[in-house]
Amino acid sequence: MKRDYCVTFDLWETLFIDRHELDHERDRMRYEGLHQVLSSLDIEIPLDDLRGAYEESAHQFQSIWRRNESISATDQIRLIIREATRNAVDLPKDPSAVDMLQNAYVDPLFKFPPKLNDEAMATLEGMRGRVRKLGLISNTGRSPGAALRKLMGRYEILPFFDVTIFSDEVGCRKPDKRIFEAAVAQLGSNPARTIHIGDDPEADIWGAKQFGMRALLFDYPVPEGFKRVPTSLFALSRVDRRVPDSEIEPDARITSLKEALAFIDSVS
């Protein structure tokens, strides 16, 4: 029998599991792709300058995200080009040129995709039989929500979700309560009857509980490969904490995604 609850999932490092090697290849392909497109448009920017601007952009994005704000892929590209040229060059005005740059920036997600959590499919199938609706609440980094939905479709998990919320599309990021509020409203639920599952103690657990939801921490540590890269967005998100651990208390900790099913069975 289905329970009168809704469940929301985080995406990165919960349903999608990334590796530093894949992240590194995506980064390389992005700035090299931008360089190739700009060259084809007769905009000559040295590759080393683009690479440096791309790496520096991680810290600039982090300062934006620290305010729980979002930045679109187009604005990310604009920032990188300006940084690489000391504001001498801006984003082209031709929409077709912008499309080419966006494709170069987004396509690496599909060339070097994160893997699907081995337990994701079985967990989502199990949830479908246990709760009223499923939602997804995901912060976005360099890959926009539209591309992530497409990848979810390729992995055949998109149909499980009644609602998918991405920070670049709603203009705010976890742990801001507005992104949880948007998901709960679209699910036709209320915070007390909605349970969130994610790996980030601050963004997922503290954020959801501040909005009145229950929250399960998928206890997934930062892989060593990401720790060694100071500009890794994943590592930066874990280092740049604003809420002390003493204020973060999940309703349960799970080390296997399927353990969430037992928690749902236990709630009243």
pLDDT at position 200 is: 94
Considering its fold, how many domains does the chain have in total? 2
Last residue of a domain, one of 111, 126, 143: 111
Statement to judge: residues 123 and 107 lie in one domain: no
| Helical segments of the chain, H only | 20-40, 47-65, 73-84, 95-106, 108-111, 120-128, 145-154, 167-170, 177-187, 207-210, 224-227, 233-239, 259-266
Last residue of a domain, one of 77, 111, 145: 111
3-state secondary structure 99-132: HHHHHHHHCHHHHCCCEECCCHHHHHHHHHCCEE
Average pLDDT of the residues of the chain: 94
Statement to judge: residues 34 and 127 lie in one domain: no
Statement to judge: residues 229 and 144 lie in one domain: yes
Statement to judge: residues 122 and 189 lie in one domain: yes
Statement to judge: residues 8 and 69 lie in one domain: no
Statement to judge: residues 54 and 170 lie in one domain: no
Parallel/antiparallel/unpaired status of strands 16-17 and 115-116: antiparallel
Statement to judge: residues 28 and 154 lie in one domain: no
Asked if residue 85 lies in contact with residue 77, where contact means CB atoms within 8 angstroms, the answer is no
- The residue segments making up the domain with residue 226 are 3-18+114-266
pLDDT at position 225 is: 63
Statement to judge: residues 50 and 158 lie in one domain: no
- CA distances in angstroms from 130 to 4, 101, 112, 180, 197, listed in the order given: 9, 43, 33, 21, 15
> Which pLDDT band, with edges at 50, 70 and 90, does 227 fall under?
low
Spatial separation of the C-alpha atoms in residues 196 and 134, rounded to whole Å: 10
Statement to judge: residues 11 and 28 lie in one domain: no
Spatial separation of the C-alpha atoms in residues 149 and 129, rounded to whole Å: 23
Spatial separation of the C-alpha atoms in residues 85 and 201, rounded to whole Å: 38
Higher pLDDT, 226 or 206: 206
pLDDT at position 236 is: 59
The tens digit of pLDDT for each residue in 97-124 reads 999 999 999 999 999 999 999 999 999 9
Parallel/antiparallel/unpaired status of strands 3-9 and 16-17: unpaired
Asked if residue 43 lies in contact with residue 56, where contact means CB atoms within 8 angstroms, the answer is no
**Tokens, residue 102:** 């966006």
Last residue of a domain, one of 71, 96, 111: 111
Statement to judge: residues 11 and 26 lie in one domain: no
Q: Is cis: bond before 46, omega within 30 of 0?
A: no
Cα 259 to chain centroid distance, Å, stands at 22
Spatial separation of the C-alpha atoms in residues 53 and 140, rounded to whole Å: 20
Residue range 52-75: mean pLDDT, rounded: 94
The tens digit of pLDDT for each residue in 142-188 reads 999 999 999 999 999 999 999 999 999 999 999 999 999 999 999 99
pLDDT at position 247 is: 85
Spatial separation of the C-alpha atoms in residues 167 and 178, rounded to whole Å: 10
pLDDT at position 157 is: 99
CB atoms within 10 A of CB 171: 15
Return the minimum-mean-pLDDT range out of 59-73, 104-118, 180-194, 227-241: 227-241
Model-level pTM greater than 0.85? yes
Residue 219 is part of a domain; what is its CATH number?
3.40.50.1000
Residue range 211-229: mean pLDDT, rounded: 80
Residue range 130-150: mean pLDDT, rounded: 98
The tens digit of pLDDT for each residue in 72-95 reads 999 999 999 999 999 999 999 999
> Which pLDDT band, with edges at 50, 70 and 90, does 243 fall under?
confident
Statement to judge: residues 123 and 231 lie in one domain: yes
pLDDT at position 242 is: 80
Return the minimum-mean-pLDDT range out of 99-103, 237-241, 249-253: 237-241
